[in-house]
Structure 1
């Protein structure tokens, strides 16, 4: 058995990420779950790109601030204490708008961990059309 008590603020930031990202998965050596804490200043986005996953289910719990999530159909406003869920094959881009008055802190989780994000072009075709 293994247990961990971690303070995300003590973890290193993830390189090449557009916001402050602290990987709990890496620190705890999780095999199946992608788990990280994100802090976004105004104008920053959570993912490296507008994307979708073929198999991964993702959830973003907003711990502080207000998260905005762009999808092909709509734009969602997710308040502190709420959760945004993206099912597989569902393109999304989570961000903190330029005009936001405060940072946003989000706990992001997804499984399976190994299902890497596929870029999505919001001006192009539906990513599921080719399958």
Structure 2
């Protein structure tokens, strides 16, 4: 942690920069992280802030009706886990919907097509654990609003936004922006 045996209460004492950690234990103030482009009110990429490479770890705040993270998708080689801290999440699967409330977690096996959405009266605060960013391989499986093809999406970075396009026709199908800072 540090040279001292005393825990450091200063959230800026260890900044989470993976180049600065040199394999040491690091910490970060999650609320202070910038929002990443996504369809929710807030997405904090905790894994990236800490230099984590073996798994993904994100904190979301999603208003009722907002989907997380990308829409209907599956991970061919990776598992997902959603832990609801506050609010309620509905995870839509091919054979039904799983309701996950505060204090509950849901496991999604590889190759399982799913869509997680905040439901209820209050925002859902969710921790999502899954594939490492560099090896995610998520496949989006939603019909393109322009051509109707049920194909994957590509994305390009446009400033602070991610612009998603249909791989069949090239139409822009979504623009993901960072939440309010």
Matched, 1:3 2:25: yes
Q: Secondary structure at the residue paired with 1:50?
A: strand
**In the aligned structure 2, how far is the partner of 1:116 from the partner of 1:14?**
18
**Unpaired stretches in structure 2, ≥5 consecutive residues:** 1-22, 144-148, 151-181
Report if the CA contact (8 A) 1:57-1:111 is conserved: yes
1:1-131 correspondence to structure 2 within 5 Å: 1-15=23-37, 17-19=38-40, 20-97=42-119, 100-113=120-133, 114-121=135-142
Relative contact order (alpha carbons < 8 A, sep ≥ 6): 1 or 2 greater?
Answer: 1
Relative to the length of structure 1, the TM-score reads 0.85
Larger radius of gyration: 2
* Alignment: residue pair count: 121
Q: Which runs of 4+ in 1 moved over 4 A?
A: none
Relative to the length of structure 2, the TM-score reads 0.62
Report if the CA contact (8 A) 1:52-1:117 is conserved: yes
**In the aligned structure 1, how far is the partner of 2:131 from the partner of 2:69?**
16
RMSD value, Cα: 1.8
More strand by share: 2
**In the aligned structure 2, how far is the partner of 1:10 from the partner of 1:25?**
14
